[in-house]
Amino acid sequence: MINIQAPKADITITQRKQEIQGDEAVIKPLYGFIDLHEIPRDKGGIIQFFNHSGELLFVGKARKLRQRVKKHFEDNVSPLKNHRDEVHRIAVSIVEDPMEREIYETYLINTGKAKYNVDKVFYRD
């Protein structure tokens, strides 16, 4: 039996109302997220998207984390494209090794029963 422990989230950002200074927003939000700058742009890792209830919606991996998170909100082919409004919290774990990212992604999809992942799904409801 293989023992896998999910990586801890290094960065967690939560959807929140945009902060206003005078008539202008300080940071332009992307689907209510104004803290995307906290996600490193040059690191690889695992991304988990959660709803208000803490239910795991989607798990993904990336070589460049910030770019990939933004792409999930802007791209027309993202599995989240019809569910972006459900995302309330994003947890990011930095994992540089590509093989480890692959293993963790599959593990998290199946142990967390990610709602919108269709590939790498081995669990049965």
**pLDDT tens digits for the chain (125 residues)?**
789 999 999 999 998 755 545 555 555 567 778 888 999 999 999 999 999 999 999 999 999 999 999 999 998 989 999 999 999 999 999 999 999 999 999 999 999 999 999 899 997 76
Give 27's contacts (C-beta < 8 A, 6+ positions apart): 18, 19, 34, 37
In a domain, 88, yes or no: yes
pLDDT confidence of residue 14: 93
What CATH number did the domain enclosing 39 receive? 3.40.1440.10
**Residue 106, φ and ψ in degrees, nearest 5:** -60, -40
In a domain, 123, yes or no: no
Integer-rounded Cα Rg, in Å, for the chain is: 15
In a domain, 122, yes or no: no
Domains: count for the chain: 1
The pTM of the whole model exceeds 0.75: yes
Answer whether 15's CB lies under 8 Å from 61's CB: no
In a domain, 3, yes or no: no
